[in-house]
């Protein structure tokens, strides 16, 4: 089956630093990728939609200058948390949508646990 690789799986960083998370579709081309965030004991909330070759679309309340998304190829999207602060500590997970065809099948990465000290 289709696989989405996300890494790192966990990262600890100091406040003020930037962290990059990668989401890669291994055996299919993903024209669209989605980035979600999950705080403890809460559900996944969509942060942004990433389309290959164009600017990401951010959900209301998500700062685009803080959460930089790049989708430079059909198999790779990156999320960079800039100047991370403790309140950014969360579980971040991506999903990828196949190109055309069976769009109702979304494939999720394994998630990244970010802890900002």
Partner 1 sequence: KQEVTQIPAALSVPEGENLVLNCSFTDSAIYNLQWFRQDPGKGLTSLLLIQSSQREQTSGRLNASLDKSSGRSTLYIAASQPGDSATYLCAIAGSSNTGKLIFGQGTTLQVKP
Tell which one of 70, 76, 80, 91 touches partner 1 (CB under 8 A): 91
Tell which one of 44, 62, 68, 76 touches partner 1 (CB under 8 A): 44
Q: Which residue has the tokens 């000290």?
A: 117
Tell which one of 21, 69, 81, 93 touches partner 1 (CB under 8 A): 93
Tell which one of 46, 62, 68, 76 touches partner 1 (CB under 8 A): 46
- Retrieve residue 55's tokens: 């600017």
Q: Which stretch binds partner 1 (CB under 8 A): 11-19, 65-73, 79-87, 100-108?
A: 100-108
User: Can residue 115 be called a binding residue for partner 1 (CB under 8 A)?
Assistant: no
| DSSP state, residue 84 | -
| Ramachandran assignment for 101, one of left (phi > 0), alpha (psi -120 to 50 degrees), beta (any other) | left
Extract long-range pairs of 55-59: CB within 8 Å, 24+ residues apart. Answer: none
Sign of CA dihedral 101, 58, 42, 86: positive
Which of 36/88 has CB closer to partner 1?
Answer: 36
- Retrieve residue 70's tokens: 């790049």
Binding site for partner 1 (CB under 8 A): 6, 10, 32, 34, 36, 42-46, 49, 91, 93, 95, 97, 103-106, 108-111, 113
């Amino acid at each position: 089956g289709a696989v989405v690789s996300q890494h790192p799986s966990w990262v600890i960083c100091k406040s003020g630093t930037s962290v990059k998370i990668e989401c890669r579709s291994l055996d299919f081309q993903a024209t669209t990728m989605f980035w979600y965030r999950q705080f403890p004991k809460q559900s996944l909330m969509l942060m942004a939609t990433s389309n290959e070759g164009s600017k990401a679309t951010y959900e209301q309340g998500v700062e685009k200058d803080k959460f930089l998304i790049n989708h430079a190829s059909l198999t790779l999207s990156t999320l960079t948390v800039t100047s991370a602060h403790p309140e950014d500590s969360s579980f971040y997970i991506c999903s990828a949508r196949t190109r055309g065809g069976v769009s109702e099948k979304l494939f999720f990465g394994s998630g990244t646990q970010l802890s900002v000290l």
